[in-house]
Structure formats: C-alpha cells, structure tokens
Chains A and B, each alone.
Chain A
Amino acid sequence: ELQLVQSGAEVKKPGESLRISCKGSGYSFTSYWIIWVRQMPGKGLEWMGRIDPTDSETIYSPSFQGHVTVSIDKSISTAYLQWSSLKASDTAIYYCARQDSRGGFDPWGQGTLVTVSS
C-alpha cells in the first residue's frame, strides 16, 4: 500500500530541538519529491519546502528558510523535518506528502502535532 507514515505527537519547550519523521512505503521512494506543509491551529495550509530524495536538493519557502531543515535518509525511505530552537509559534500540525508526477501532493502523511509550550 502506498503510504506515508509520520512520527507521533511531540510536546517541547521553547528553545529545544526537534526532529520529526515521515516514512514512505509502497513505492520507489527516490522517484518522487517529498514536501512539508504546516497547519497552525485553526488556520490554513502553508508550503514549507521540498526535498529531492535522489540528491537531497532542497527548496524552502522564504517564510521557513533558516528556521527549519529538511533532510532525507533514502536507505530507510524516510524524510525528516527538524528545528534547532523551537518557538511557541511553531505549534502546529506538520504534514509530509509525496509530490507525484502530475505535480499534485498525494498521498499525505497523517500529520504530526507539535506543541511548544513553557
């Protein structure tokens, strides 16, 4: 079955670091880009960036450049989104998705809720 499975919910304090994961299965992981999307509480979708699993080339949204890092371990078909210093404003659900050959995002992971609170 084609799917992306994300790591579980996290509760962190401001200033802490965090890495969440997104594991693909049921398809050739290196053949499709992985994208990350943020959804803040009660808000819309925001594209954060994408990564090419073949060479780890990344493109970030200007809104997220410098604050998050996207990476890949293709040996285990897993993408990562990480923060070195979390802020309360990072509280959100984070989704990964596969960018398919038609340019659409399909499928999506189930989402990872990140809560940052002192």
Chain B
Amino acid sequence: QSVLTQPPSASGTPGQGVTISCSGSTSNIESNTVNWYQQLPGTAPKLLIHSDHQRPSGVPDRFSGSKSGTSASLAISGLQSEDEADYYCAAWDDGLNGLVFGTGTNVTVL
C-alpha cells in the first residue's frame, strides 16, 4: 500500500489542461524531492519531472511540476492524444528508509 495518494483518474479534451495531485507527508514529500514518471500503455515508465519541477531534456514544456508542503502536483497543459498514460509521483521516505511511489493516475484524452 502506497503512502503517496493520487487520484485514480483524470481527463480532458485536446488542448485543455489537467492537474494531478500527489499527497504525502512530512517524511517523504516535505523532506525530499519529488519525481514524476509517465507510463504509456504497454511500455516501461519514463522520467518526466525530477527534483520537484525540473524537466529532463526532451520532455515538452507542457509538463510542469510543483510542490508545497506535503503535496506535489503535475500539470499538463495543451493536452494531446499521446499524453494518454499512467502518471506516478515518487519520493524517498525517511521513515521507511525507502522510495515510495504514488498510487498512479490514469489520464484520458476525451
């Protein structure tokens, strides 16, 4: 059972924006950096955002990350059909001495 909670689903029409929340605690999100991963259907996850809000080379600037206190968010602006995927947040947890993933959010482009 994950200690990082995400909404199970989110959706929007092409061109719209969606925001995915990731709720944690003082031992994980508040104390450590948050990364986000995108998993397209049938493929391995891919690093989307690191260090709370940094985009790796090649990730479109439509994706942005933020963090405040014990919560983090991933925003996708200008939704495209290829954004249909599962999205996971992740952070180190000092209490568990291990990394924890969020429960995952499935994004659908209507």
Instruction: Give the bracket for the number of chain B residues in contact with chain A.
Output: 20 to 34
CA distance A70 to B101 in the complex (A): 20
Nearest CB on B from A68, distance (A): 14
- Neighbour of B44 across the interface among A47, A60, A95, A102, CB < 8 A: A95
Contact with B along A80-108 (1 / 0, CB 8 A): 00000000000000010100101111101
| B70 within 8 Å of A (CB atoms) | no
| Cα(A46)–Cα(B98), bound, Å | 11
Q: How far is the CA of A109 from the CA of B100 in the complex (A)?
A: 19
Q: How far is it, in angstroms, between the C-alpha of A59 and the C-alpha of B102 when the chains are bound? A: 20
Contacts of A106 in B (CB 8 A): 46-47, 50, 56
In the bound complex, what is the Cα–Cα distance between A102 and B50 (angstroms)?
A: 7
A108 and B98: CB pair below 8 A? no
| Chain A residues, Cβ within 8 Å of B44 | 95, 108-111
Known: A44-B104, A108-B44, A111-B44. A59 touches B51 (CB 8 A): no
> 11 A-B contacts, Cβ less than 8 Å apart?
A37-B101, A44-B88, A44-B102, A45-B37, A45-B45, A45-B88, A49-B98, A62-B96, A104-B50, A105-B35, A106-B46
Binding site for B on A (CB under 8 A): 35, 37, 44-47, 49-50, 59-62, 95, 97, 100, 102-106, 108-111
